[in-house]
Amino acid sequence: MSFRLWIKIVSLLFISLSLLTVFGCQQGKKQDRVCVIYASVDQNFSEPVLQHFQEKKKIRILPVYDVEATKTTGLVNRLIAEKDRPQADVFWSGEFAQTILLKEKDVLAPYLSPNAKNIPDLYKDPEGYWTGFSARARVLIVNTDLLTSQEYPASIFDLLQPRWPAEKIGIAYPVFGTTATHAAALYAFLGAEKARNFFQELYDRGVRVADGNATVRDLVSSGQLIMGLTDTDDACGAKRRGKPVDLVFLDQEENGLGTLLIPNTVAMVNGAPHHEEARILIDFLLSEDVEQRLIEAGWTHVPLRPLNIRQDCLENMDIKGMNISLQEVYQSFEYSKKELLEIFIR
Within 28-47, the residues that bind another protein by CB under 8 A are: 36-38, 42-44
Cα 280 to Cα 58, 69, 81, 87, 343: the distances in Å are 11, 31, 25, 17, 44
One residue of 49, 59, 65, 111 binding another protein per CB under 8 A = 65
Positions 70 through 89 that interact with another protein (CB under 8 A): 70-78, 80-82, 84-85, 87-88
Nearer to another protein, 96 or 321 (CB): 96
Instruction: Classify residue 177 by burial, with Cβ atoms within 10 Å: 0-12, 13-18, 19+.
Output: buried
Residue 26: half-sphere exposure toward Cβ, Cα within 13 Å: 6
Q: Select the span of 123-131, 209-217, 289-297, 323-331 touching another protein (CB under 8 A).
A: 209-217
Q: Which residues pair with 36 in a beta bridge?
A: 62
**Cα separation of the two ends of the chain:** 67
Q: Does residue 16 belong to the site contacting another protein (CB under 8 A)?
A: no
One residue of 48, 62, 275, 283 binding another protein per CB under 8 A = 62
Q: Amino acid identity of 118?
A: N
Q: Does residue 281 belong to the site contacting another protein (CB under 8 A)?
A: no
Backbone dihedral region for residue 250 (phi beyond 0: left; psi -120 to 50: alpha; all else: beta)? beta
Nearer to another protein, 66 or 291 (CB): 66
For residue 281, which of 298, 271, 292, 268 has the smallest C-alpha distance?
A: 268
Instruction: Classify residue 74 by burial, with Cβ atoms within 10 Å: 0-12, 13-18, 19+.
Output: middle
Nearer to another protein, 40 or 115 (CB): 40
Q: Does residue 9 belong to the site contacting another protein (CB under 8 A)?
A: no
How do beta strands 34-40 and 60-65 pair? parallel
Q: Does residue 342 belong to the site contacting another protein (CB under 8 A)?
A: yes
Nearer to another protein, 77 or 197 (CB): 77
Number of residues that bind another protein (CB under 8 A): 73
For residue 304, which of 316, 315, 314, 294 has the smallest C-alpha distance?
A: 294
Nearer to another protein, 118 or 222 (CB): 222
CB of 90 to another protein, least distance (A): 11
Nearer to another protein, 32 or 312 (CB): 32
**d(C-alpha 168, C-alpha 207), whole Å:** 7
One residue of 100, 140, 159, 175 binding another protein per CB under 8 A = 175
One residue of 56, 105, 117, 194 binding another protein per CB under 8 A = 105
Indicate the helix (H) or strand (E) that contains 86. Answer: none
**d(C-alpha 105, C-alpha 15), whole Å:** 39
One symbol per residue from 212 to 251: x for binding another protein (CB under 8 A), - otherwise; what is it?
x-xx-xx--xx-x---------x--xx--x----------
Nearer to another protein, 115 or 213 (CB): 213
Nearer to another protein, 98 or 131 (CB): 98
